[in-house]
Amino acid sequence: MTDTLTSTSDAQASEPRPTGPLAGIRIVEFAGLGPGPFASMMLSDMGADVVTLMRGEQKQGLRGAIMMRGRRQIACDLKDKECVADVLQLLEGADALIEGYRPGVMERLGFGPDVVLARNRRLVYARMTGWGQSGPLANAAGHDINYISVTGALHAIGAKDKPVPPLNLVGDYGGGALYLVVGILAALLEAQKSGQGQVVDVAMCDGAASLMSLFCELTAIGRWKDGRESNLLDGGAHFYGTYQCKDGEFISLGSIEPQFYAELRRLAGLDDALYDGQMDAKNWPAMKAKMTEVFKTKTSAEWCAIMEGTDVCFAPVLSLSEAPKHPHMAERRIFVDVDGVVQPAPAPRFSRTPSAIRKTVAAELEAVAKEWSGAR
């Protein structure tokens, strides 16, 4: 596999002066799970100096800890008074803070917004939770599947008979980590103008609901039904979905626009007049049934030879082990090999200040706090 990937050299991984667009931005991450580490990984890839306070085992030497890449890790006991004092000093030199505890935990540890912002008025204090800092469920346990359940997202995904969890991409990473990154960057921009920081309340249920904006719009204009596999983008349409091939592999279609649909019909040999009414939803089940049989007449590779690179809006459905080998993925170096671990390359891409993957290293709290205090 590695011959199709870019290897990240030690020189790049340990680059002392990051060139990313966030070079010079200093962020303290209180180690957590899921969205916090993923957001911190993105910020680090983009050049930010991210220091992670570990409440236990450090992961700089743990093979495969992709989301912990690029940080300086500090092991500390946040209940120790001496450690608390050192962390507060560290935060005085920081631009942003990321924490993912339940509401009230940071306050009990002595790092609540009132305490920290009083010492560093320009700090962006980002709080990552599932339910948010307020509301009846604010202190309840939960996971991605619960947060997307109450927003209408999970109800819309899956087969007719039951909803299917879309991994934990929608709540944890889409509605959580990415909104965390956006919130931090927006607040940092505002702080540059006002000289004042603020608290950013990032909730996965908020973000997941925001991601449903298109479907709220479609519902409002009468173009979205609550039943799964009844709509344009939920597997109901015969021209937008997946089909199994002769070899058991799957391909995907997204032939929504009329010209793309016409190309699909031409290349798949869909000459039956039944297919003339592309948007006639009452005939979608019958059209899907016939197309199911058509795609089973050839292997995935054969369909790729016919349709890939055309305007059908076509792609094979690849596994995680197959994806890095795909010619497009390999050409753009979308996956890279870092010390024998295949992982996604930094995204997005910047022409003048490129992102880079940097090594995760252990650090001493007092030394970093002293370094940051003298940086400005």
Fold (CATH) for 250-316? formyl-coa transferase, domain 3 (3.30.1540)
Q: Note the pTM of the prediction, 2 decimals.
A: 0.93
For domain 2-213+333-373, give the CATH superfamily: Crotonobetainyl-coa:carnitine coa-transferase; domain 1 (3.40.50.10540)
Catalytic residue among 143, 201, 311, 337: 143
Residues 6+ apart with CB under 8 A from 356: 8, 12, 13, 15, 18, 19, 20, 45, 47, 346
- 42 three-class SS: helix
Alpha-carbon distances of 68 from 41, 199, 235, 260, 366, rounded to whole Å: 6, 24, 35, 41, 21
In terms of Cα–Cα distance, which of 198, 186, 31, 146 is closest to 100? 31
123 pLDDT above the threshold of 70: yes
Catalytic residue among 45, 49, 144, 172: 172
Please give the single-letter amino acid code of residue 159. Answer: A
More confident residue, 353 or 11: 353
What's the whole-number average pLDDT of the chain?
Answer: 93
Given this model, what pLDDT does residue 373 score? 87
Is 143 tagged catalytic?
yes
Whether the Cβ atoms of residue 234 and residue 228 lie closer than 8 Å to each other: yes
pLDDT tens, residue by residue, 237-266: 999 999 999 999 999 999 999 999 999 999
What is the domain partition of the chain in residue ranges?
Answer: 2-213+333-373, 250-316
Given this model, what pLDDT does residue 7 score? 42
- 71 three-class SS: coil
pLDDT tens, residue by residue, 295-340: 999 999 999 999 999 999 999 999 999 999 999 999 999 999 999 9
Is 238 tagged catalytic?
no
pLDDT tens, residue by residue, 38-90: 999 999 999 999 999 998 655 555 667 899 999 999 999 999 999 999 999 99
